[in-house]
A = this chain, B = another copy of it.
Amino acid sequence: MKLNVADQINVECYEKQETSGGLWNYTWRTGTDLYGEHVHSSMYTNLWLAGPKEGNEYMDYSYKDHFGKLLPSYVPREIALQYVNGRLTKGKCGDMKSLVHFRHVVTSVEYDNDADHFTVWIRDLPGNKDNKEIFSHVVVASGAFYVPNSPSFEGICSFPGRNIHSYDFREAREFAEQTVLIVGSSFSASEIAVQLIRFGAKHVIVTYRQHPVNFKGTRSIEERPLLQRIDNNTIHFKDGTSADVDAIILCTGYLYHYPYLKGGLKFDTGVPVCVMPNKMYKGTVYTQGGNNKLLFIGPFESYVSFSLFDVQARWVYKYILGQLPNEPSTREEMMKSVCEWQGRFATLDSIFAKITFQKDMLIMLAKDVGYPTEYVERTFAVVFQCVSDRMENTWTYRSKAYRTVFTDEQSPAPEVRWDESMDDDKLVKQYTD
């Protein structure tokens, strides 16, 4: 099962889930899976991508390559899942899926300073066996949206209704006819708010800490400043108002959490996921582990997931092979760059500032590996446009269609508005026929 990349790196890839597709896989299970492992996916039924596919496409395998035609810019979850799985099995490298050890969970990664290598424990879940392997480098590519950040509020303990984190949200129809409080104002919050109304919730109140979402054109959704306390089923907000609700959904983001990284390798556990993970050189090399060989792909609140992960993967590959001669080799040198980026990170005060920050980081990585920066520029142009369209109208922004980044083609507008197409399966069938 050794994968030989360019005859130079032996790679072993362990994946906890039973198949590929990461968090794009939907499961009805919450909390723990069949094997008692933490459920990785936070998907819900009828989820649509919040961003357009043009901002989430791979240079070497397009949506058109996979589906044989141009699809509208905004698509349901299943389309993204089929697309990433298509690249894995039919992309430039051939069938990569068969090389992955599925249902194998990494349970411990420890660095041995004297031997200068990592000891990795892997559990074969169905086989119920543990094995120890030695590696020179470890790449953590397990995503960042699977351990919920659930802040507490006064009185939450005795709230008589349902109270979950968006990680456990599976099905909007469960909240039909209800009044639901959503805590948060980022993507999960606004997406779940409209999803609830789409599937019959009576009323949704979105409570924000800093900035309202501004649900222009949105029926039955109102916004209020942060909740202060909960008294039975009555929520009291910062502006002195109150409201009775049936359920609470915490859309309060995720925590960095890598329990298998031991000793000095532990990284930012318990810190909310953001665009600049702490002490991470170029968002990729962990600098505090007594080595520079623990690498990360995608440990971000990300706005352009696919191209960001792709470029980071290329960077990691070249870094391990020593093909990035200008990179510093010591922790001290790396930390100079880290401090600069962290300094800038501390000043970010809007979503546009965060997106620009991520764009600049991606351009830096792209330059290192020879990935055309014009593609990065164009990808982010689509993202900026999407975020603006979304701010303009949370309900209708998915009717927009953008030009593809890599082939500069105009994607078609959808035939039906996303929220009026209640049967995603039918639509997926139409797109994939």
Binding site for B on A (CB under 8 A): 26, 28-32, 34-38, 45, 105, 107-108, 110, 121, 123, 125, 128-130, 132, 147-148, 150, 152, 156-165, 167-168, 170-171, 173-174, 247, 255, 257, 259-260, 262-264, 266, 268-270
Contacts and interface: CB of A to CB of B under 8 A. Distances in A.
A162 B44 CA distance: 12
Given A35-B270, A107-B262, 9 more contacts: A35-B269, A36-B259, A36-B269, A45-B158, A108-B108, A123-B266, A128-B270, A160-B173, A162-B162
Contacts of A132: 262-263
Contacts of A26: 157
Contact of A36 (B31, B32, B45, B255): B255
Contacts of A32: 38, 147-148, 150, 167, 257
A425 to B, nearest CB: 9
A48 to B, nearest CB: 18
Contacts of A110: 108, 121
Contacts of A34: 150, 152, 270
A179 to B, nearest CB: 14
Contact of A163 (B28, B105, B123): B28
B161 A173 contact: yes
B164 A30 contact: yes
A28 B157 contact: yes
Nearest to A35: B270
Nearest to A29: B150
B28 A259 contact: no
A132 B45 CA distance: 43
Given A147-B36, A161-B171, A257-B36, A262 B31 contact: no
A105 to B, nearest CB: 8
B130 A167 contact: no
Please name the 9 residue pairs, one residue from A and one from B, whose CB atoms are nearest each other, closest first. Answer: A36-B257, A36-B147, A160-B173, A31-B31, A36-B255, A162-B174, A130-B263, A28-B157, A108-B108
Contacts of A161: 171, 173-174
A170 B248 CA distance: 13
Nearest to A159: B28
7 contacts: A30-B31, A30-B165, A34-B270, A36-B148, A38-B38, A108-B262, A128-B270
B168 A30 contact: yes
Contact of A168 (B31, B156, B160): B31
A314 to B, nearest CB: 30
Contact of A128 (B125, B163, B263, B266): B266
A90 B158 CA distance: 29
A107 B168 CA distance: 24
Nearest to A265: B130
B266 A31 contact: no
B259 A123 contact: yes
Given A108-B262, A269-B128, A31 B171 contact: no
A247 B28 CA distance: 13
Contacts of A170: 163
Contacts of A174: 160-162, 247
A158 B158 CA distance: 31
Nearest to A165: B31
A123 B265 CA distance: 12
A123 B35 CA distance: 23
B30 A130 contact: no
Nearest to A163: B28
Contacts of A165: 30-31
Contact of A28 (B128, B156, B260): B156
